[in-house]
Protein backbone atom coordinates (compact mmCIF):
# COMPACT_ATOMS: atom_id res chain seq x y z
CA UNK A 1 0.00 0.00 0.00
CA UNK A 2 1.39 3.37 -0.98
CA UNK A 3 0.87 6.39 1.27
CA UNK A 4 -1.40 9.21 0.11
CA UNK A 5 0.45 11.86 -1.89
CA UNK A 6 -0.52 14.70 0.48
CA UNK A 7 1.38 13.27 3.46
CA UNK A 8 4.45 15.03 4.77
CA UNK A 9 7.57 13.14 5.92
CA UNK A 10 6.20 12.44 9.42
CA UNK A 11 2.95 11.03 8.06
CA UNK A 12 4.73 9.00 5.38
CA UNK A 13 7.07 7.47 7.94
CA UNK A 14 4.14 6.59 10.21
CA UNK A 15 2.28 5.07 7.23
CA UNK A 16 5.27 2.91 6.27
CA UNK A 17 5.89 1.75 9.84
CA UNK A 18 2.26 0.84 10.48
CA UNK A 19 1.66 -0.90 7.16
CA UNK A 20 4.77 -3.01 7.75
CA UNK A 21 3.78 -3.93 11.31
CA UNK A 22 0.00 -4.37 10.94
CA UNK A 23 -2.54 -5.61 8.42
CA UNK A 24 -4.49 -2.39 7.84
CA UNK A 25 -5.83 -3.07 4.34
CA UNK A 26 -9.47 -2.64 5.39
CA UNK A 27 -8.83 0.68 7.12
CA UNK A 28 -6.77 2.61 4.60
CA UNK A 29 -8.85 5.81 4.90
CA UNK A 30 -8.61 5.77 8.69
CA UNK A 31 -4.87 5.20 8.52
CA UNK A 32 -4.57 8.13 6.11
CA UNK A 33 -6.44 10.32 8.59
CA UNK A 34 -4.12 9.19 11.41
CA UNK A 35 -1.08 10.09 9.33
CA UNK A 36 -2.51 13.49 8.31
CA UNK A 37 -3.23 14.20 11.97
CA UNK A 38 0.37 13.28 12.83
CA UNK A 39 1.57 15.74 10.18
CA UNK A 40 -0.63 18.57 11.50
CA UNK A 41 0.35 17.82 15.09
CA UNK A 42 4.02 17.94 14.10
CA UNK A 43 3.52 21.30 12.38
CA UNK A 44 1.78 22.74 15.44
CA UNK A 45 4.46 21.47 17.81
CA UNK A 46 7.21 22.83 15.58
CA UNK A 47 5.55 26.26 15.61
CA UNK A 48 5.06 26.11 19.40
CA UNK A 49 8.75 25.33 19.86
CA UNK A 50 9.62 28.78 18.50
CA UNK A 51 6.89 30.80 20.20
CA UNK A 52 6.25 31.77 23.83
CA UNK A 53 3.50 29.58 25.28
CA UNK A 54 2.03 32.50 27.21
CA UNK A 55 1.96 36.10 26.03
CA UNK A 56 0.31 38.97 27.89
CA UNK A 57 -1.19 36.46 30.31
CA UNK A 58 -2.91 34.47 27.55
CA UNK A 59 -2.05 30.97 26.38
CA UNK A 60 -0.87 30.58 22.82
CA UNK A 61 -3.89 29.62 20.64
CA UNK A 62 -1.96 26.70 19.17
CA UNK A 63 -1.92 25.01 22.59
CA UNK A 64 -5.66 24.40 22.24
CA UNK A 65 -5.18 23.07 18.70
CA UNK A 66 -2.32 20.83 19.87
CA UNK A 67 -4.52 19.30 22.56
CA UNK A 68 -7.37 18.69 20.10
CA UNK A 69 -5.05 17.11 17.52
CA UNK A 70 -3.40 14.89 20.15
CA UNK A 71 -6.84 13.70 21.29
CA UNK A 72 -7.87 13.05 17.69
CA UNK A 73 -4.65 11.09 17.10
CA UNK A 74 -5.21 8.93 20.20
CA UNK A 75 -8.83 8.24 19.24
CA UNK A 76 -7.95 7.32 15.65
CA UNK A 77 -5.08 5.14 16.89
CA UNK A 78 -7.45 3.32 19.22
CA UNK A 79 -10.14 3.03 16.51
CA UNK A 80 -7.60 1.33 14.26
CA UNK A 81 -7.07 -1.22 17.03
CA UNK A 82 -3.50 -0.14 17.62
CA UNK A 83 -4.09 0.54 21.32
CA UNK A 84 -4.29 -3.18 22.05
CA UNK A 85 -1.19 -4.66 23.68
CA UNK A 86 -0.46 -7.97 21.92
CA UNK A 87 2.08 -9.03 24.53
CA UNK A 88 -0.32 -8.60 27.44
CA UNK A 89 1.82 -6.05 29.25
CA UNK A 90 0.12 -3.81 31.75
CA UNK A 91 -0.56 -0.40 30.12
CA UNK A 92 1.00 2.70 31.62
CA UNK A 93 -1.26 4.36 34.16
CA UNK A 94 -3.09 1.25 35.31
CA UNK A 95 -2.94 0.58 39.03
CA UNK A 96 -0.40 -1.98 40.16
CA UNK A 97 -1.83 -5.29 41.35
CA UNK A 98 -0.77 -7.71 44.02
CA UNK A 99 -0.10 -11.42 43.40
CA UNK A 100 -3.81 -12.18 43.55
CA UNK A 101 -4.58 -9.70 40.79
CA UNK A 102 -6.25 -7.21 43.14
CA UNK A 103 -5.29 -3.51 43.01
CA UNK A 104 -2.92 -2.36 45.73
CA UNK A 105 -4.68 -0.45 48.44
CA UNK A 106 -3.12 1.83 51.00
Mean pLDDT of 29-50: 96
pTM score, whole prediction? 0.75
Range of the domain at 58: 26-79
Q: Is residue 91 in some structural domain?
A: no
Structure-model confidence comparison of residues 33 and 86, the more confident one: 33
DSSP state of 23: -
Distances (CA, A) of 72 to 36, 81, 102: 11, 14, 33
Number of structural domains found in the chain: 1
Does residue 72 or residue 21 have the better pLDDT? 72
Residue 100 belongs to a domain: no
Residue 104 included in any domain? no
pLDDT digits (tens, 9 = 90+) for 56-66: 999 999 999 99
Amino acid sequence: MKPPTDLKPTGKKLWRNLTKAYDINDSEELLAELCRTADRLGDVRQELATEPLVKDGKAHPLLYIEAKLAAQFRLTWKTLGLADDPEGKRPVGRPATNEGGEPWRR
